Amino acid sequence: MKRIGSFIIAGLLLFSVITGCSQSGASGSGDVVKIGSWSTSEHLILAHMIKLLIEQDTKLKPEIVEGLTSTPVVLKAMENNEIQISAVRYVGTDLSSSLKIENPPRDPDEALKMVQEGMQEKYDQKFFPSYGFENTYVFTVRQDLADKLNLQKVSDVAPYAKDLHLGTDNAWLERPNDGYPAFKKAYGIEFGKTSPMEIGLVYKAVSNKDVDIVLAYSTDSRLKEYQLKTLEDDKKFFPPYQAAPVARNDLLKKHPELEDVISKLVGQIDTETMTVLNYQADIKKVQPAEIAKNFLKEKGLLK
Amino acid sequence: MNTLMDVLRYMINDWENILTITGEHLYMSLSGVVLAAIAGVPTAVLMTRNQKLAVSVQAVVNMIQTIPNLALLLIVMIFFGLGYTTAIIALICYSLLPIIQNTYTGLQNVDPHLIEAGKGMGMTPMQLLVKVKIPLALPVMMAGFRVATVICIGVATIATFVGAGGLGQLIFRGILSTDDVKILAGSIPAACLAVGVDFLLKWVEKRSGFYLHKVRNE
């Protein structure tokens, strides 16, 4: 009996030590600001930019919570005040997923205004003006397939769609207003087979001929790296997807200086710049934190 | 071979981060198993005394195990929000089946003659449980704990989706940026953890075998 007893005590001690260590790092309230981010390079780079600027200009302690996969998860976490800032949100995504607007406007300014008002009223969150780039969905095929079937725009795919295998990110097939069901209606195209997967895998999948056509993200540098051909959205199906940070209004009220800090990034990054930054992360394998620091220094925003 | 060298280099360069997320991973997995054991072992003991309870608990625990892990994680998230709590609750759910099932089976299969002998010696039900049944069922119970631990270390890789960190953070970063080095730098420590903890528990199991021997000889 003694041996087992001492073993249990030792185990409990070890357990409480581990618990203690991890808890002290994880919890803590007061001046901690949590920035929610997905694990893609784009999100991590922008999250680190916000983190560095907050560290430099305020006394707050920013922390990045990464791995939040989908907009609904991020939105839920923001509502529960578990994160106060989301590093990147896209106008079109929030219009259709968070605000459930069925036919979002195609004009970028109008769409931005609509999402700003909607998030303010419905969720009490401030949707900032865009960073200056747009990350839209693009249909993408291998160059050899494009040449063979003479594909230039999405409508060109219609006659061959039954034989094509589509790869997408995990969410698109289910998305209500800018997803597959709406796409089928708009273009009258239904693919023979669809495979949802982690977005990072679609580029390799299409270049390895595992799938024929993929729905990629337009700022992704791997489009160039794998020499993929993007097809024009000729029926203007996709709404504008300008990227912007979002913050809870009560946080901005409590720390008014934060609004100026985050606004420093507004309009600073155009689509080409974002693609280059993504290239450094995904192809050159530079750490996102490093890329963020270098960019801010170059822009003179970080001393 | 080249990739392996890259992985090693990456792990050396980024050792601080890897150590932190390995710690988070271990913390979540062990918390899951320990808490599930605290809840599961008494439940299994009660199950041996009440056949109806046994049937219904087994049904529930089996059902939980069939829920896909990502779905379970996100359902728990709706109630408990982001972070460790959600991840640990999901891990407890997945540990319950092996722990309850093995404890129950172990206790059921104790030789009735030995229980009779214990009763004949005037043991109270509590003494019977602690001094006869549990020691004899211990090897089977330990096997359950080992299975639960390995399951937890595996499932904990998706804890990153609710912001709880762990080695999954690095693995999914790797998947999203088509970076095999990061994927391996996250999965190799996870595999080592699973093998290492399993080995440790096997050792404990052997020691508990000695203990069993001692009880028998006393």
- ipTM of the complex in this document: 0.73
**Domain ranges in chain B?**
12-217
Chain B residues within an 8 Å CB radius of A203: 178
Domains parsed from chain A with CATH numbers: 29-134+240-299 (3.40.190.10), 137-231 (3.40.190.120)
Segment B90-124, tens digit of pLDDT: 999 999 999 999 999 999 999 999 999 999 999 99
* A67·B165 Cβ contact <8 A: yes
Q: Where are the beta strands (DSSP E) in chain A?
A: 32-37, 61-66, 85-90, 125-127, 137-142, 165-168, 193-196, 213-217, 228-231, 243-248
- Looking at chain B, which residue has its C-alpha nearest residue A11? B34
Return the pLDDT at A292: 96
B12-217 classified as CATH 1.10.3720.10? yes
Q: Which of A22, A67, A201 sits opposite B163 (nearest CB)?
A: A67
Interface check for B149 against chain A (CB to CB < 8 A): the answer is: no
Question: Cα separation of B79 and B31, whole Å?
Answer: 19
Interface check for A7 against chain B (CB to CB < 8 A): the answer is: yes
Chain B residues within an 8 Å CB radius of A204: 178
Cβ–Cβ pairs < 8 A, chains A and B: 91
Phi/psi region, residue A102 (left: phi>0; alpha: psi -120 to 50; beta: rest), is alpha
CA pseudo-torsion sign A234, B176, A53, B160: positive
Chain A residues within an 8 Å CB radius of B84: 22, 26
* A15·B81 Cβ contact <8 A: no
Our CA-based measurement puts residue B48 at a distance from the nearest CA of chain A, in whole angstroms, of: 23
Return the pLDDT at A89: 95
Chain B residues within an 8 Å CB radius of A11: 34
* Local structure of A245: helix, strand or coil: strand
Our CA-based measurement puts residue A181 at a distance from the nearest CA of chain B, in whole angstroms, of: 23
Question: Cα separation of A169 and B159, whole Å?
Answer: 20
- For chain A, residues with pLDDT lower than 50 are 1-2, 20-29
Task: Pinpoint the alpha helices (H) of chain B.
Answer: 2-13, 15-49, 51-66, 69-80, 84-108, 112-120, 125-127, 134-155, 168-176, 180-217
Our CA-based measurement puts residue B23 at a distance from the nearest CA of chain A, in whole angstroms, of: 8
Return the pLDDT at A27: 39
Q: Which of A15, A83, A199 sits opposite B30 (nearest CB)?
A: A15
Segment B28-78, tens digit of pLDDT: 999 999 999 999 999 999 999 999 999 999 999 999 999 998 899 988 988
Segment A73-110, tens digit of pLDDT: 888 899 989 999 999 999 999 998 889 888 889 899 99
Chain A residues within an 8 Å CB radius of B173: 39, 44, 66
Chain B residues within an 8 Å CB radius of A41: 176-177
Q: Which of B20, B160, B204 sits opposite A67 (nearest CB)?
A: B160
Closest CA to B68 of B29, B88, B94: B94
Return the pLDDT at A303: 86
CA angle centred on A206, ends A171 and A285, rounded to 5°:
80
Long-range contacts of B17-21 (CB under 8 A, 24+ apart): B17/B170, B18/B170, B18/B185, B18/B189, B20/A25, B20/B165, B21/B165, B21/B166, B21/B167, B21/B169, B21/B170, B21/B186
Return the pLDDT at A257: 92
Interface check for A3 against chain B (CB to CB < 8 A): the answer is: yes
DSSP state of B156: G
- Looking at chain A, which residue has its C-alpha nearest residue B14? A287
Segment B143-182, tens digit of pLDDT: 999 999 999 999 999 999 888 889 999 999 898 888 889 9
